[in-house]
């Protein structure tokens, strides 16, 4: 009877039978596990999802990391389609990774055009990239951005600058790209076309920005210290967007991990940029006006107080344009040639258009294109535009909402 009363009394079970029946401890553990599993499924069940599965404390970060193992852009596009074009990403607790992700054309037009001033890059973006990009055009807002954009836009449309771009690219294609493709095409069964195109665009954009040729696309495809340092600095800077700000700041303070790599890479980048700037200043004393690269253009200019720009500002301008022109062009070209390889009919139409334009003149050796002839290639332009639509070089653009302050 006493035994029966103990079994009937919940307090009695723990007080009287816990030592005689130790397997009840496992039952308590099972209860806690069951509750944990219930909470987990409660968080993950479809009717609670908005965009990605949200985990306790960690938010949607585990789901994002899972997507990084696959084609991240294709994967996030599927999520956006499922959510109607827009969803809220919730980062881990006590982090600053919360954001709104949208691909809705109406939202994009509102952010990038209608209310452009209201959506700057923002402090979060600028701080993450400040060590690499400084106050350059792609890491600045307001007056600083407008001044650099105005100067760059005017220069990009000048006859002298366009001739510089044409001459440098033509020389790189005929003297380096084609010989490299022929050499490696004969020796091996395949070639990393994206790496070759990355070297091509890096050489080209360095010639346009700094007026120097790093020689990445030389005969043996050498390792260039500045190019390697620039690549490591870019990757380490991007890592800051994948972790809480407090974490990478701690890593920077103690010089650990990716922050250590960033610091070491920036030393080499700054040494290269500083050396080029000082050398250009000496050249301009005796040869002023003959150069037409961006560095020389900004060296001719003066700020609002009539003073020449500092070496740090000149460095930021050139580094920003190298970052803009290097990856974007090479990625676009790599996807374009891959798509053309998948569609032989498109390739034939492009070649037919080229033959039609070249048919009116005699060509000796490799054809050297004139800018006015390239403008006539409408089908090629359409094919490039379609490649950019399917695989954009810059698929993500970061903006912050900056509401205007009210006067009291």
Q: What is the pLDDT of residue 189?
A: 67
For residue 319, give the nearest of 281, 271, 379, 357 by alpha carbon: 271
Q: What is the pLDDT of residue 377?
A: 92
Is 407 a residue whose pLDDT tops 60?
no
Q: What is the pLDDT of residue 298?
A: 85
Q: Give percent above pLDDT 70 in the chain.
A: 82
User: CA 297 to CA 291: how far, in whole Å?
Assistant: 8
Write out the two tokens for 171: 């020389």
Q: What is the pLDDT of residues 119-176, one digit of tens each?
A: 999 999 999 999 999 988 888 888 888 888 887 787 778 888 888 888 888 899 999 9
Task: Show me where the domains of the chain are located.
Answer: 2-122, 137-390
Q: Is 35 exposed, middle or buried (0-12, 13-18, 19+ CB in 10 A)?
A: exposed
Is 3 a residue whose pLDDT tops 50?
no
Quickly state the pLDDT bin for 113 (edges 50, 70, 90). Answer: very high
For residue 206, give the nearest of 298, 87, 295 by alpha carbon: 295
Write out the two tokens for 327: 């990856």
Element (H, E) at 88: strand 86-89
What is the chain's mean pLDDT, rounded? 82
Query: What does DSSP assign to residue 111?
Result: I
Is 114 a residue whose pLDDT tops 90?
yes
Quickly state the pLDDT bin for 287 (edges 50, 70, 90). Answer: low
Q: Does 1.10.630.10 match the CATH number of domain 137-390?
A: yes
User: CA 363 to CA 360: how far, in whole Å?
Assistant: 10
Are 265 and 236 in contact, with CB atoms under 8 Å apart? yes
Chain-centre distance of CA 128, in angstroms? Answer: 13
Query: What does DSSP assign to residue 222?
Result: P
Write out the two tokens for 364: 């000796």
Q: List Cα–Cα distances, 48 to 51, 53, 55, 62, 202, in angstroms.
A: 10, 8, 11, 16, 47
Q: What is the pLDDT of residue 256?
A: 95
Q: What is the pLDDT of residues 48-84, one digit of tens each?
A: 455 688 888 888 888 888 877 777 888 888 899 999 9
Q: What is the pLDDT of residues 28-50, one digit of tens each?
A: 666 667 666 655 555 555 444 55
Chain-centre distance of CA 293, in angstroms? Answer: 24
Is 2 a residue whose pLDDT tops 50?
no
* Sequential DSSP letters for 254-293: HT-HHHHHHHHHHHHHHHHHHHHHHHHHHHHHHHTTS--S
Is 11 a residue whose pLDDT tops 50?
no
User: CA 295 to CA 279: how far, in whole Å?
Assistant: 11
Beta-carbon count within 10 A of 197 CB = 20
For residue 211, give the nearest of 148, 296, 151 by alpha carbon: 296
55 by DSSP, 3-state: which? strand
Report the number of secondary-structure helices (H) and strands (E) in the chain. Answer: 19, 2
Q: What is the pLDDT of residue 63?
A: 84
Any idea which residue has 């080209």 for tokens?
A: 204
Q: What is the pLDDT of residues 359-387, one digit of tens each?
A: 766 555 556 677 778 888 999 999 999 99
For residue 87, give the nearest of 36, 49, 131 by alpha carbon: 49
User: CA 150 to CA 94: how far, in whole Å?
Assistant: 40
Is 397 a residue whose pLDDT tops 50?
yes
Q: What is the pLDDT of residues 193-206, one digit of tens each?
A: 899 999 999 999 99
Write out the two tokens for 29: 């553990």
Quickly state the pLDDT bin for 219 (edges 50, 70, 90). Answer: confident
Query: What does DSSP assign to residue 173?
Result: I
**Ramachandran region of residue 126, left (φ > 0), alpha (ψ -120 to 50) or beta?**
alpha
Q: What is the pLDDT of residues 297-311, one digit of tens each?
A: 888 887 778 888 889
Q: What is the pLDDT of residue 302?
A: 79
Q: List Cα–Cα distances, 21 to 6, 47, 281, in angstroms.
A: 13, 42, 87
Is 266 a residue whose pLDDT tops 60?
yes
Any idea which residue has 């985990």 for tokens?
A: 55
Residue 263: φ, ψ to 5°:
-65, -45
Q: What is the pTM of this model?
A: 0.79
Across the range 200-215, mean pLDDT stands at 91
């Amino acid at each position: 009877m006493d035994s029966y009363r103990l079994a009937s009394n919940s307090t009695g079970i723990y007080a009287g039978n816990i030592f005689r029946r130790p397997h009840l401890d496992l039952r308590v553990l099972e209860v806690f596990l069951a509750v944990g599993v219930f909470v987990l499924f409660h968080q993950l069940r479809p009717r609670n999802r908005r965009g990605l599965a949200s985990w306790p404390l960690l938010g949607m970060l585990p789901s994002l990391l899972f997507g990084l193992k696959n084609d991240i852009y294709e994967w996030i596009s599927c999520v956006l389609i499922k959510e109607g074009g827009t969803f809220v990403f919730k980062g881990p607790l006590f982090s600053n990774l919360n954001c709104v992700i949208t691909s809705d054309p109406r939202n994009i037009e509102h952010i990038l055009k209608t209310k452009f001033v209201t959506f700057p890059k923002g402090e979060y973006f600028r701080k993450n990239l400040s060590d690499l990009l400084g106050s350059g055009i792609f890491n600045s807002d307001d007056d600083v951005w407008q001044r650099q954009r105005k100067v760059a836009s005017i220069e990009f449309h000048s006859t002298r600058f366009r001739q510089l771009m044409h001459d440098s690219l033509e020389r790189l294609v005929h003297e380096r790209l084609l010989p490299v493709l022929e050499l490696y095409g004969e020796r091996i069964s395949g070639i990393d076309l994206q790496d070759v195109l990355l070297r091509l665009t890096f050489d080209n954009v360095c010639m346009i920005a700094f007026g120097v040729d790093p020689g990445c696309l030389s005969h043996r495809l050498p390792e260039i210290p500045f190019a390697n340092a620039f690549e490591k600095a870019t990757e380490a800077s991007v890592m800051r967007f994948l972790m809480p700000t407090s974490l990478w700041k701690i890593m920077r303070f103690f010089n650990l991990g990716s922050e250590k790599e960033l610091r070491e890479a920036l030393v080499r980048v700054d040494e290269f940029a500083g050396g080029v700037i000082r050398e250009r200043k000496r050249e301009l004393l005796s040869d002023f006006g003959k150069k037409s690269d961006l560095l020389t253009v900004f060296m001719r200019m003066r700020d609002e107080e009539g003073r020449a720009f500092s070496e740090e500002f000149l460095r930021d301008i050139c580094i920003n344009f190298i970052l803009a022109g290097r990856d974007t062009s090479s990625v676009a070209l790599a996807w374009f040639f891959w798509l053309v390889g998948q569609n032989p009919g498109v390739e034939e139409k492009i070649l037919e258009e080229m033959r039609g334009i070249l048919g009116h003149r005699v060509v000796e050796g490799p054809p050297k294109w004139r800018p006015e002839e390239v403008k006539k290639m409408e089908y090629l332009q359409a094919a490039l535009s379609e490649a950019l639509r399917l695989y954009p070089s810059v698929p993500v653009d970061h903006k912050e909402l900056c509401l205007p302050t009210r006067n009291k």
